[in-house]
């Protein structure tokens, strides 16, 4: 194999990618990167207006990028979103399950202990992350099963490897996403087709809209106490940039990883490898 042949593996011309939670910081950057690699992209989000800045970045989009309303917890809405993407692009080759998040009510604090966490808040976090991965995988996965090929990429978390303090529900939910990734990979390969692969990435600590002011001070930009602890336990000594995900994600989505399924890859600056001493 020469450089030209290897480079072609990362040319996604003719491939159609559906990203749930696609207007989020990390998913949005992945969508732009895939668009830049010639893929058709469908940004699926509960708030399509959030995708407007992304669409402006990739103008003129022609017919290679669309924004679709979707709710990963509602099968009917996700079925409709999937049908819209297939109508626009003819097929879905790749599903990136990036919808997820936490809820402050499911987080312990000085005034709210684990014993105080309301079940409905825990359920919200569990449903958003786990069911929000399973339901799109069922709907889009059925389309892939009919075609006997496809790639599903789930977004797990460093919390699945090393559960963090305070966020019990989120850590447990992301651990479930990692487990589900392995289960679905085996199911698809054995029961449907070995040409359907399922993997996940587990990002370490990236500054996003959800955690920015938990890790950095809004006024000064300096690290909070929690942010400092994270950096102190990250051998590379920094938070991740969205671009740091590109290499791993592109590899897992491309033919370069055609014999890889059922893995969860940490992209964490060494956090998961460091014991603290």
Please name the residues in contact with 32: beta carbons below 8 A apart, sequence gap of 6 or more: 54, 57, 58
Active site residues: 170
Q: Where are the alpha helices (DSSP H) in 118-258?
A: 119-126, 132-147, 158-161, 168-187, 212-215, 225-232, 246-253
Q: What is the maximum alpha-carbon separation in the chain?
A: 60
Please name the residues in contact with 21: beta carbons below 8 A apart, sequence gap of 6 or more: 27, 44, 45, 72, 97, 98, 99, 100, 132
Rounded to whole angstroms, how far apart are CA atoms 175 and 181? 10
Q: Is 108 helix (H, G, I), strand (E, B) or coil?
A: coil
Give CA separation, 25 vs 53, 167, 197, 204, 276, in Å: 11, 20, 25, 14, 29
Looking only at the bridges linking them, the beta strands covering 264-267 and 40-45 are: unpaired
Torsion angle defined by CA atoms of residues 216, 245, 44 and 129, in that order, rounded to the nearest 10 degrees: -70
């Amino acid at each position: 194999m020469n450089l030209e042949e290897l480079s072609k593996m990362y040319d996604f011309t003719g491939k159609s990618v559906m990203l749930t939670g696609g207007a989020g910081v990390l998913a949005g950057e992945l969508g732009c990167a895939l668009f830049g690699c010639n893929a058709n992209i469908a940004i699926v989000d509960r708030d399509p207006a959030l995708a407007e800045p992304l669409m402006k970045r990739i103008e003129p989009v022609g017919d290679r990028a669309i924004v679709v309303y979707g709710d990963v917890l509602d099968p009917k809405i996700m079925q409709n979103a999937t049908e819209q993407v297939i109508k626009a692009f003819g097929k879905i080759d790749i599903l990136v399950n990036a919808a997820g998040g936490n809820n402050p009510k499911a987080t312990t604090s000085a005034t709210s202990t684990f014993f105080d966490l309301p079940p409905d808040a825990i359920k919200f976090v569990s449903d958003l992350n786990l069911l929000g991965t399973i339901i799109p995988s069922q709907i889009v996965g059925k389309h892939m099963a009919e075609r006997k090929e496809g790639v599903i990429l789930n977004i797990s978390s460093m919390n699945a490897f090393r559960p963090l303090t305070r966020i019990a529900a989120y850590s447990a939910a992301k651990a479930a996403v990692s487990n589900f990734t392995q289960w679905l990979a085996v199911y698809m390969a054995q029961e449907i087709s070995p040409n359907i692969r399922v993997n996940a990435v587990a990002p370490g600590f990236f500054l996003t809209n959800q955690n920015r002011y938990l890790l950095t001070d809004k006024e000064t930009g300096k690290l909070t106490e929690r942010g400092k602890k994270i950096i102190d336990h990250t051998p590379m000594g920094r938070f991740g940039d969205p671009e740091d995900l590109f290499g791993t994600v592109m590899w897992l989505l491309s033919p370069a990883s055609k014999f890889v399924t059922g893995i969860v890859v940490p992209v964490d600056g060494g956090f998961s490898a460091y014991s603290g001493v």
